[in-house]
Amino acid sequence: MNKATIVGSINLDTNLRVHRMVKPGETIHGKEHYTAAGGKGANQAVATARAGSKTRFIGAVGNDGPGEQMLDLLKEEKIDVSGIEIIQNEPTGQAFIPIDDNGENSIMFYAGANYAFGTEEVAKNSSLIETNDFVIAQLETPIEATIKAFEIARSKNVKTILNPAPGESDLPEKLLKLTDMIIPNETEAETITGIEVNDETSAKKAAAKLHELGVEAVIITFGAKGAFYDFNGYSELVPAFKVKAVDTTAAGDTFIGYMIATLEKDFSNLREAILHGNKASSATVQRFGAQPSIPYKNEII
């Protein structure tokens, strides 16, 4: 059983189902409204735990009702929440997500407490990183905190995995040199490398650029097309499973969590791990919500 620590965001998601996305200045009717636990970090932690890995979390919530609710839900998943700070003067993070009839979404994110923890909080929770196989981070929390977590991981031979979402064009070189594996989608890969990514050929060019920046293994996710990987001289687009998507929220997070649960530390079974992630995310997109849509291990088996 793999052991993983997630350094990342925790949000309360407010979801609104609509027939189509709204245009600027337009008002339309929604057809369903609901809230759910979310945040890319928390989603990935839940996916990792449901996939069967021992999971720990470093992050922050506000001293409020949503924060208490999010902590309770993570505890229910048997996730170690001892590294989650409760911030007194910041609200728990929030995300607002419209989802159209094609299952596509857009996300507006208010960081709140997610941006109120940093290197000190990571350092004092170093024991949650040092004894693990993997540490996983995204870009919904301070980059300085992620760099600190990756420095701790590297000092103890723990593999570092970066999901650079939301995409940023000026990622610190220091962070990329500390990253063993990077997992952007095609848009994020273009944002980081400046290379338009729309097929295997362009994905390979972007991967080459990321290797030059110091990253050992590259996975670029292509949504319904699957996931491209480039590692140790091998590259391939591993196809996704074909299903009818109703909500793509948390699909990428599910992919990462389930892939990590299967992955060997030397990445020697990378293609097999990607297939496992693809299978799990194909279940996620057939359900609504972020964490409520993430499947359990027995469903994937």
Binding site, annotated residues:
11-13, 39-43, 140, 185, 221-226, 247, 249, 252-253, 278, 284, 287, 289, 293
Residue the block writes with tokens 């809230």: 35
Residue 61 tokens, joined: 């919530």
Q: In the annotation, is 100 catalytic?
A: no
Binding site, annotated residues for K(+):
247, 249, 284, 287, 289, 293
Residue 75 tokens, joined: 């505890």
Q: What does 60-112 look like in DSSP terms, one character per residue?
A: EEESSHHHHHHHHHHHHTT-EEEEEEEETTSPPEEEEEEE-TTS-B--EEE-G
Q: Of the residues 64, 133, 180, 253, which is catalytic?
A: 253
Binding site, annotated residues for substrate:
11-13, 39-43, 140, 253
If one counts every other C-beta atom within 10 angstroms of the C-beta of residue 106, the result is 11
Binding site, annotated residues for ATP:
185, 221-226, 252-253, 278
Give the C-alpha separation, 116 to 216, whole Å: 31
First-to-last C-alpha distance (Å) of the chain: 15
Phi/psi region, residue 205 (left: phi>0; alpha: psi -120 to 50; beta: rest), is alpha
Q: Do the Cβ atoms of 31 and 19 come closer than 8 Å?
A: yes
If one counts every other C-beta atom within 10 angstroms of the C-beta of residue 300, the result is 18
Give the C-alpha separation, 43 to 142, whole Å: 18
Phi/psi region, residue 103 (left: phi>0; alpha: psi -120 to 50; beta: rest), is left
Residues with catalytic roles? 253
